[in-house]
Amino acid sequence: MSTLTDIAISPSLLTEKIKAQARELGFEKVGVVRAEALMEEHAKLEEWLRRGFHGEMRWMARDAEQRTDPRKFFAEARSVVVVALNYFTPQEHAQKSSSGKISRYAWGDDYHDVVGEKLKRLLEWIKEEFSGAEGKVCVDIQPLMDKAWAARAGLGWIGKHTNLITREYGSWVFLGELLLNLELEYDEERTEDHCGTCTLCVDACPTGAIVEDYVVDSRRCISYATIELRSDAMPEEVSGNLDGWLYGCDVCQDVCPWNRFEQVTSENRFEPRAGDTSLRLSDILEMTHEEYVERFRLSAMKRAKLSGLKRNARALLKPE
Ligand code: SF4
């Protein structure tokens, strides 16, 4: 077993070993950056919050400082290991008036569990290998700006639709971070923005939620309305333009030319649960709480709660 004294004299070897272990665990991309405040990204977040684009996601405003400075979340943090896990499976969305489409990210098992489990295994391995190492696992729920950290670590660039795009897997990747109390060797190279003059996602959004290049107004976003919004009714401009989406929306990613580089994931937990890429609206409306708990136990879809899914199903069935 190495000690932190050894670690201090060989950050580059340590970084190499951690990256190799992360790849061994299945992560397709790994980058390492210093745990410090992201000043530019923080200013953008503040402006986005000031414009009210976070809607009812009040926790985003509450944790704004932590989101861009991991030391506010884990005081000993010296480094951020950022990982990406490909989740693309080859099934297509089916458009049927009797069913509601599910966003691709929620077809399989809950990525919080899958990515979280892999990151926990990585942290355990680091702690076993290097005495004195400590860390914190972050997968979406913890207050960290995943996409900003991934871009900073060189995993890809943030597209005009505000998702992270990798050159190798498109935007079908889950992100996660491991905060460590270790000094490591840091990736300096960023991925250039390859959106260029393309505006396909901006033009295709059914509700016009990409209000400017690289700026999404969540209040107009189908994903936000069908997953995060807790009120009984959706804003009219969203409910009238749902385009068949019951849970989340993939339109901006489906039209993105960078997703022609999609590759099928080797993680079989991302295969659609029960083969479903959509759900019958009548089944949702008739679903009891017990059935809901059983059906969505390991799924990210439980985020919307049964009341949210029923509201979405009713909105889809509403006559034009
Ligand atoms: S659709 Fe075009 S503009 Fe939008 S994220 Fe993809 S490349 Fe960028």
What are the extents of the domains in the chain?
A: 2-91+105-180, 200-260+273-317
Q: Are strands 278-280 and 2-3 parallel, antiparallel or unpaired?
A: unpaired
Distance, in Å, from the CA atom of 163 to the CA atom of 157, rounded to the nearest integer, reads 8
Residue nearest to atom 4 of ligand 1 (CA): 201
Pocket perturbation via mutation, ligand 1, pick of 258, 259, 260 by most ligand atoms within 8 A of CB:
258
Q: What is the pLDDT of residue 141?
A: 83
Atom index in ligand 1 nearest the CA of residue 200 equals 1
Q: What is the pLDDT of residue 9?
A: 56
Tell me, in angstroms, the distance from the centre of ligand 1 to residue 183's CA.
35
- 35: Cα separation from own chain's centroid: 20
Q: What is the pLDDT of residue 10?
A: 82
Residue nearest to atom 2 of ligand 1 (CA): 198
Distance, in Å, from the CA atom of 13 to the CA atom of 1, rounded to the nearest integer, reads 14
Tell me, in angstroms, the distance from the centre of ligand 1 to residue 267's CA.
26
- Residue in 194, 172, 192, 135 with CA at minimum distance from that of residue 252: 172
Pocket perturbation via mutation, ligand 1, pick of 199, 211, 213, 261 by most ligand atoms within 8 A of CB:
199
Which residues lie across from 85 on neighbouring strands? 174
Residue 76 sits at φ, ψ, to 5 deg, of -85, 0
Per-residue pLDDT tens digits of the chain, which is 320 residues long:
555 555 555 889 999 999 999 999 999 999 999 999 999 998 999 999 999 999 888 878 777 777 788 999 899 999 999 999 999 999 999 888 899 999 999 999 999 999 999 999 999 999 999 889 999 999 988 888 999 999 999 999 999 999 999 999 999 999 999 999 999 999 999 999 999 999 999 999 999 999 999 999 999 999 999 999 998 889 888 999 999 999 999 999 999 999 998 999 999 999 999 888 999 999 999 999 999 999 999 999 998 999 999 999 999 998 65
- Residue in 210, 218, 3, 206 with CA at minimum distance from that of residue 101: 206
Tell me, in angstroms, the distance from the centre of ligand 1 to residue 256's CA.
5
Q: What is the pLDDT of residue 213?
A: 97
Give, in order, the Cα–Cα distances in Å from 147 to each of 53, 158, 200. 17, 7, 20
**Placement of tokens 């295709």 in the chain:** 204
Q: Please give all residues whose beta carbon lies within 6 A of any atom in ligand 1, as ranges.
A: 159-161, 195, 198-201, 255-258
Question: Would you say 15 and 23 are in contact if contact means Cβ atoms under 8 Å apart?
Answer: no
Residue nearest to atom 8 of ligand 1 (CA): 195
CA atoms within 13 Å, Cβ hemisphere of 287 = 23
Distance, in Å, from the CA atom of 49 to the CA atom of 121, rounded to the nearest integer, reads 35
Q: What is the pLDDT of residue 19?
A: 98
Q: Quote the tokens at residue 35.
A: 């745990």
- Residue in 205, 254, 255 with CA at minimum distance from that of residue 225: 205
Tell me, in angstroms, the distance from the centre of ligand 1 to residue 2's CA.
45
Q: What is the pLDDT of residue 143?
A: 80
Query: Structure pTM?
Result: 0.94
What's the angle, vertex CA 216, arms to CA 63 and CA 141, rounded to 5? Answer: 35
Q: What is the pLDDT of residue 7?
A: 52
Q: What architecture is domain 2-91+105-180?
A: 3-Layer(aba) Sandwich (3.40)
Pocket perturbation via mutation, ligand 1, pick of 166, 198, 214, 261 by most ligand atoms within 8 A of CB:
198
Residue 290 sits at φ, ψ, to 5 deg, of -60, -45
Q: What is the pLDDT of residue 227?
A: 95
What does the H/E/C string look like for the chain? Answer: CEEHHHHHHCHHHHHHHHHHHHHHCCCCEEEEEECCCCHHHHHHHHHHHHCCCCCCCHHHHHCHHHHHCHHHCCCCCCEEEEEEEECCCCCCCCCCCCEEEECHHHCCECHHHHHHHHHHHHHHHHHHHEECCCEEEECCCCCCCHHHHHHHCCCCEECCCCCEEECCCECCEEEEEEEECCCCCCCCCCCCCCCCCCCHHHHHCCCCCEEECCEECHHHCHHHHHHHCCCCCCCHHHHCCCCCEEECCCHHHHCCHHHHHCCCCCCHHHCCHHHCCEEEHHHHHHCCHHHHHHHCCCEHHHHHHHHHHHHHHHHHHCCC
Residue nearest to atom 5 of ligand 1 (CA): 159
Q: What is the pLDDT of residue 243?
A: 94
Mention every residue, 6+ apart, whose C-beta is less than 8 A from residue 216.
53, 161, 162, 209, 210
Reply yes or no on whether 254 is catalytic. no
Tell me, in angstroms, the distance from the centre of ligand 1 to residue 217's CA.
17
The active-site residue out of 6, 63, 110, 140 is: 140
